[in-house]
Structure 1
Amino acid sequence: MSTTLNATQPWRQRLAEWIESPRSQFLIMALIIVNAVILGLETAPSVMQHWGGLLSRLDQLILGIFVIEISLRFIAHDWRLLRDPWGLFDTLVIVIALIPASGPLAVLRALRVLRVLRLISIVPSMKIVVQSLLSALPGMGSIMALMGLVFYVAAVIATQLFGEQFPDWFGTLGASLYTLFQVMTLESWSMGIVRPVMEAYPLAWLYFVPFILIATFMMLNLFIAVIVDAIQNQRERVAASKAASQGKTVEPTEPHRSSLSGANQELLLEEVRQMRAELRSLRDQLGER
């Protein structure tokens, strides 16, 4: 789990390098996986009846190793470790695990499974995905705002058009929003909602089909595009940071050039193919009526 913090003294630097070495990180990752298996087995009463004592001792042993590991990281980096988001995350996970899970704090026992999430801070590919999702939040926020606007307008129209005949589904604005969310997920949207509505309003498909195309396919692909772009940008930043730490230079890329070439172009074409296949499937379903 590489960190942006640097040790100031030689022995601290050596300790930090040892803790963050591939061998040490592999050991911690293996312990996290074993701990995850143990926490899963503890949910089975039959397993706990025969092996509960052993599993509890193994859980405490692994927790002790985690405490030693985080303590060594504090020794190597001092309190500056908490300035690193991943260091703060690991520390909070260990602190929660150390709180006695009894009395009013018994609910914290279930939070022990959060230790499994430490894999995110150790596996570089997982870390890139999480950092990409966080960096994509502003763009996703704009898409969610647009989706909320589409849902609101569609819900008002549905309430006015279908509310009298179908009060359970479209009687109120809230009911319409929930029903449209079900339609967007394509969960029983045809036989469960649209076909019964079309029995009373034969032209209702003129409302539902455009809504599905906009809310389901267009919005979903906008989310995918934002996330893919964020992951690509994050990978480029990681590569540039790694090259800078090794004293290498990274040639700046022209805007959007790398995102439309090579593997990214193939990814974009694959998304277009999937969208066409989904549209063909939707047309086939509508044609079967």
Structure 2
Amino acid sequence: MSLRERSRQLVESRAFQYFITAVILGNAATLGLETSSTLHDRYGVQLHVIDVTALSIFVIELILRLFVHRLRFFRDPWNVFDLAIVSVALAPASSAFTVLRAMRILRVLRLVSVVPSMRRVVSALLTAMPGMVSIAGLLVLVLYVAGVMATKLFAHTAPEWFGSLGQSIFTLFQIMTGDSWSEVAREVMAKQPLAWIFFIGFLVVSAFTVLNLFIAVAVSAMEAEHRAEEEAKPIPAQDRAVLAELRELRAELGALRSELTERQPV
């Protein structure tokens, strides 16, 4: 067996994937511990050694995958994603790269490419992006129309909330998220009792309808991704044998039926 084939078996083995997952989780824990000044002062050297060791393991893993897949490595977006994440962590520790060094925590995002269920969710969300963009456009349109209406209706009643179009849109976005919307509504209703019609209508359209469309599109995309993954799965050898026997039985039944039809008297 060639060295490349052995490397392929190692990289694609389940034990190796579990090992990389454990390293990612351990590295995430050490990066979190480094944010504590007390722990950093006491165990800074040990944490740095663990961080460098984890980074070395990631680099070796990428080298092995490049060796196995060669140029095909770059055809998989998840491989490119892993390469970008590890490359950021390899940035020098000079002041010009301080921001990049702070982004070492992005290594935790490699869990997305390692765990199949997470990868499936992200792929589904990317597939659903065109539909979500359309819904986001609809939401912006609803916010703009409602912002103009609210400014004209409540600018004099509650100028701190609806004094300008920008303030109105921000306030309506806050109401849409459910953050203290009743306080804003009651303050306006104290001077304009019928204002509840506007606020309830806006909540029904924005929060209960438009935002739920995002969930519907995301769920639909995940279901489609799951169906595509199930259809792409190879059929086990035992099932293929059963299917072959069923085809043979169908062929024999068809031949017998034709033979019986020919023997029947006209």
Amino acid at match of 2:66: F
Q: In the alignment, is the contact (CA less than 8 A) between 1:18 and 1:24 conserved in 2?
A: yes
CA distance in 2, matches of 1:97, 1:245: 41
Residue 14 of structure 1: how far off its partner (Å): 4.0
The one of 171, 190, 209 aligned to 1:218: 209
Amino acid at match of 1:64: S
Aligned twin of 1:228: 219
Tell me the alpha carbon deviations over residues 71-119 of structure 1, each in whole angstroms, 9 at most, x when there is no partner.
0111111132122100000011111111112111111121100110000
Aligned twin of 2:185: 194
Q: Structure 1 residues 115-124 or 76-85, which shifts more?
A: 76-85
Q: 1:14 to 1:237 in 2, by over 3 A?
A: farther
Aligned twin of 2:177: 185
SS of residue in 2 equivalent to 1:202:
coil
1:149 equivalenced with 2:141 (yes/no): yes
Could you tell me which runs of 5 or more consecutive residues in structure 2 were left unpaired when the two chains were aligned.
Answer: 241-266
Q: In the alignment, is the contact (CA less than 8 A) between 1:121 and 1:127 conserved in 2?
A: yes
SS of residue in 1 equivalent to 2:233:
helix
Q: 1:94 to 1:247 in 2, by over 3 A?
A: farther
The one of 107, 115, 123 aligned to 2:115: 123
Seq. identity, %: 47
Q: 1:52 to 1:95 in 2, by over 3 A?
A: same
CA distance in 1, matches of 2:132, 2:2: 44
Aligned twin of 2:195: 204
The one of 240, 243, 248 aligned to 2:234: 243
The one of 71, 75, 80 aligned to 1:88: 80
Q: 1:30 to 1:228 in 2, by over 3 A?
A: same
Aligned twin of 1:265: none
Residue 217 of structure 1: how far off its partner (Å): 1.0
Aligned twin of 2:55: 63
Q: Structure 1 residues 48-57 or 100-109, which shifts more?
A: 100-109
CA distance in 2, matches of 1:223, 1:52: 44
Residue 10 of structure 1: how far off its partner (Å): 6.2
Aligned length: 240
Tell me the alpha carbon deviations over residues 225-259 of structure 1, each in whole angstroms, 9 at most, x when there is no partner.
1111111110111112223698989xxxxxxxxxx
Runs of 4 or more off by more than 4 Å in structure 1? 244-249
Tell me the alpha carbon deviations over residues 147-192 of structure 1, each in whole angstroms, 9 at most, x when there is no partner.
111111111100111112222211211111000001111111112x
The one of 9, 16, 20 aligned to 1:24: 16
Aligned twin of 2:162: 170
Higher Rg? 2
1:102 equivalenced with 2:98 (yes/no): no
CA distance in 2, matches of 1:162, 1:13: 72
Amino acid at match of 1:38: T
Amino acid at match of 1:222: L
Normalising by structure 1, we get a TM-score of 0.79
Aligned twin of 1:6: none
Aligned twin of 1:278: none
Q: 1:248 to 1:242 in 2, by over 3 A?
A: farther
